[in-house]
């Protein structure tokens, strides 16, 4: 190979490498396509020291901004997914063009099973929330939304073996054991699945599925609701699925959506304030943009019965919004898996909706709710088992408690009681059976978390005892000011 050819070859090689960089001023990648934030440009210094991770962080920044990145990803995923039939970009390529979130596979094959104690904690946690809502004149229902593979599992690849039992089925049994009101949304969807209730190339239900789900929720609440009788749906191939976007960010296949000829009553947004076009704002919240939909409120212009709804929701709840708004005078929609129960007005209905793949999040962190007071007899007759790893602090609103039990603790029904012994009398409360310590919680070690209102106990010094099953543990001391 002569010298001239080598030089020519090097020039061509460098030109190819530099070509994408030269295009950077003229192209801008859309972060919304991949549903994540692009990596920021790294700092040269961190806390007045040289950033030793600069090269790695710069590589991430550059990779996110390579021109035509979406086209390159789309081409690569087409080869890897459609041709080689392997999961790509967190998406499972199913049969006949069906797509699934890769996260669903654990529920589908039951490789992420909750422990018996965790299932008890699930039932207890929601029973305490329901007790609180009911005690203040409201009604509560829990809505576990089945993964698409739980309803249309026949389109999953053959090498995924479906388990007959998983966290969803076990959670619903636990809810029944603890008397919690819930909607068996999986049964509703499976019983009507011939109507095609989920998108083929999106992880969520379509508007047909949401309409059936809405009626199931309202029946569960025992509320008179609008039936929209005679409404018919018209299909349009105009829905860009979230899974399709993940594997083909440069443009893929449009999915079917079904639009009903329904008339909804007029309403206005009370949060965010100053919304001029309520319909357009609602359509934005129902889209997959997920912009500013973490917390918003509405008020009907025609319903004047004092009815209120608080809905803790995730992305599945988007399609339910117009129905829920159309049945209550006031509504609050909070996108969260850890609701603030104290913020819910007396007499409100509460809907707690969460996707099957996120069920474990319900018992990952205790909802903000003051612990209900219990009879002191729950402490008597128990066996003292020593101390626990507990923390207790006096906050502005009261006492915050948390900790976990020894690994071999028999928790019984996993109802956890905290006894505060002071100079005048003892006070007993029931807290959530939730271990917020991530390290021990990952090992499925049971624990407790809760808040005691400052109005429930007078100022003073208290010794804490924690009761679970037939066990009593010493939790130390706390001062209430």
pLDDT in tens, 51-61: 766 667 665 65
Q: Rounded distance, CA 151 to CA 191, Å? A: 9
Q: Rounded distance, CA 155 to CA 144, Å? A: 22
Q: For residue 361, what pLDDT band results from cuts at 50, 70 and 90?
A: very high
Compute how many other C-beta atoms are within 10 angstroms of the C-beta atom of residue 401: 26
The arithmetic mean of pLDDT across residues 64-82, rounded, is: 52
- Per-residue pLDDT of 391-440, as tens digits, reads 888 888 889 999 999 999 999 999 999 999 987 788 999 999 999 999 99
Q: Rounded distance, CA 47 to CA 54, Å? A: 14
- For helices 167-177 and 116-135, give the axis angle rounded to 10 degrees: 50
> Is residue 174's pLDDT more than 90?
yes
Mention every residue, 6+ apart, whose C-beta is less than 8 A from residue 262.
228, 231, 322
3-class SS letters over the chain: CCHHHHHHHHHHHHHHHHHHHHHHHHCCCCHHHHCCCCCCCCCCEECCEECCCHHHHHHHHHHHCCCCHHHHHHHHHHHHHHHCCCCECCEEECHHHCEEECCHHHHHHCCCCCCHHHHHHHHHHHHHHHHHHHHCCCEEEEEEECCHHHHCHHHCCCCCCCCCCCHHHHHHHHHHHCCCCECCHHHHHHHCHHHCCECCCCCCECHHHHHHHHHHHHHHHCCCCCCCCCCCEEEEEEECCHHHHHHCCCCCCCEEEEEECCCCCCEEEEECCCCCCHHHHHHHHHCCCCCCCCEEEEEECCCCCCCEEEEEECHHHHHHHHHHHCCCCEEEEEECCCCEHHHCCCCCEEEEEEEHHHHHHHHCCCCECECCECCHHHCCCCEEEEECEEEEEEECCEEEEEEECCCCCCCCCCCEEEEEECCCCEEEEEEECCCCCHHHHHCCCCEEEEEEECCCCCCEEEEEEEEECCEEEEEEEEEEC
pTM of the model: 0.85
User: Per the structure block, which two tokens stand in for 235?
Assistant: 């299909």
pLDDT at site 420: 93
Beta bridge partners of 124: none
The arithmetic mean of pLDDT across residues 216-228, rounded, is: 97
- Per-residue pLDDT of 229-258, as tens digits, reads 999 999 999 999 999 988 887 667 899 999
The arithmetic mean of pLDDT across residues 276-298, rounded, is: 92
Q: For residue 49, what pLDDT band results from cuts at 50, 70 and 90?
A: confident
> Is residue 75's pLDDT more than 70?
no
User: Per the structure block, which two tokens stand in for 100?
Assistant: 């699934």
Q: Rounded distance, CA 279 to CA 276, Å? A: 9
Please indicate whether residue 4 or residue 273 has the higher confidence score (pLDDT): 273
pLDDT at site 396: 82
Q: For residue 459, what pLDDT band results from cuts at 50, 70 and 90?
A: confident
Q: Rounded distance, CA 205 to CA 324, Å? A: 17
> Is residue 359's pLDDT more than 60?
yes
Mention every residue, 6+ apart, whose C-beta is less than 8 A from residue 32.
289
Q: In the chain, where are the structural domains located?
A: 1-67, 99-363, 376-480
Q: Rounded distance, CA 188 to CA 217, Å? A: 11
Q: Rounded distance, CA 278 to CA 268, Å? A: 6
pLDDT at site 29: 52
Mention every residue, 6+ apart, whose C-beta is less than 8 A from residue 252.
74, 201, 240, 241, 244, 245
- Per-residue pLDDT of 114-154, as tens digits, reads 999 999 999 999 999 999 999 999 999 999 999 999 999 99
The arithmetic mean of pLDDT across residues 212-226, rounded, is: 98
Q: Rounded distance, CA 395 to CA 452, Å? A: 10
Assign a CATH topology to domain 376-480: Immunoglobulin-like (2.60.40)
In this prediction, what percent of the chain has a pLDDT beyond 70? 82
> Is residue 298's pLDDT more than 80?
yes
Range of weakest confidence among 2-11, 27-36, 81-90, 98-107 = 27-36
Q: Rounded distance, CA 128 to CA 334, Å? A: 19
The arithmetic mean of pLDDT across residues 265-275, rounded, is: 97
> Is residue 191's pLDDT more than 60?
yes
Q: Rounded distance, CA 214 to CA 193, Å? A: 16
pLDDT at site 15: 56
- Per-residue pLDDT of 305-352, as tens digits, reads 999 999 999 999 999 999 999 999 999 999 999 999 999 999 999 999
Query: Using an 8 Å Cβ cutoff, are 328 and 349 in contact?
Result: yes
């Amino acid at each position: 190979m002569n010298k001239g050819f080598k030089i020519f070859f090097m020039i061509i090689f460098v030109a190819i490498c530099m070509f994408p960089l030269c295009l950077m001023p003229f192209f801008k990648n859309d972060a919304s396509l991949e549903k994540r934030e692009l990596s920021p440009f790294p700092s040269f210094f961190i806390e007045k020291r040289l950033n030793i991770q600069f090269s790695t962080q710069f590589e991430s920044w550059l990779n996110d901004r390579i021109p035509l990145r979406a086209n390159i990803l789309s081409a690569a995923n087409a080869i890897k997914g459609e041709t080689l039939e392997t999961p790509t970009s967190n998406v499972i390529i199913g049969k006949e063009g069906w797509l699934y979130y890769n996260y669903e596979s654990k529920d589908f094959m039951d490789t992420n099973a909750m422990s018996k104690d965790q299932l008890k904690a699930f039932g207890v946690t929601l029973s305490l929330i329901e007790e609180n809502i009911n005690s203040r004149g409201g009604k509560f229902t829990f809505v576990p939304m089945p993964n698409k593979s739980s309803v249309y599992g026949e389109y999953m690849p053959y090498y995924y073996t479906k388990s007959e039992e998983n966290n969803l089925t076990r959670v619903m049994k636990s809810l029944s054991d603890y008397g919690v009101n819930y909607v068996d949304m999986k049964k509703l969807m499976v019983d009507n699945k011939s109507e095609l209730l989920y998108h083929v190339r999106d992880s969520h239900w379509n508007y047909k599925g949401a309409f059936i789900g809405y009626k199931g929720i309202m029946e569960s609440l025992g509320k008179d609701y609008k039936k929209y009788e005679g409404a018919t749906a018209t299909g349009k191939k105009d829905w860009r699925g979230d899974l399709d976007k993940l594997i083909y960010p440069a443009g893929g296949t449009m999915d079917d959506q079904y639009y009903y000829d329904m008339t909804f009553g007029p309403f206005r947004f009370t949060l965010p304030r100053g919304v001029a076009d309520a319909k357009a704002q609602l359509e934005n919240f129902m889209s997959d943009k997920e912009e500013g939909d973490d917390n918003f409120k509405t008020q009907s212009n025609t319903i004047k019965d004092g009815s209120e709804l608080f809905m803790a929701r995730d992305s599945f709840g988007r399609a339910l919004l117009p129905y829920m708004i159309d049945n209550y005078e006031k509504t609050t929609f909070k996108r969260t898996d850890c609701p603030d129960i104290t913020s819910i007005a007396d007499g409100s209905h509460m809907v707690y909706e969460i996707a099957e793949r996120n069920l474990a999040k319900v018992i990952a962190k205790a909802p903000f709710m003051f612990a209900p007071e219990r009879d002191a007899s729950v402490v008597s007759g128990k066996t003292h088992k020593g101390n626990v790893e507990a923390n207790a602090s006096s906050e502005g609103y009261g006492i915050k408690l948390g900790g976990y039990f020894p690994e071999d603790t028999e928790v019984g029904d996993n109802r956890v009681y905290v006894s505060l012994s002071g100079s005048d009398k003892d006070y007993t409360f029931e807290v959530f059976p939730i271990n917020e310590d991530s390290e021990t919680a990952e090992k499925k070690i049971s624990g407790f978390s809760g808040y005691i209102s400052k109005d429930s106990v007078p100022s003073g010094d208290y010794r804490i005892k924690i009761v679970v099953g037939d066990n009593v543990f010493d939790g130390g001391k706390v001062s209430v000011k």
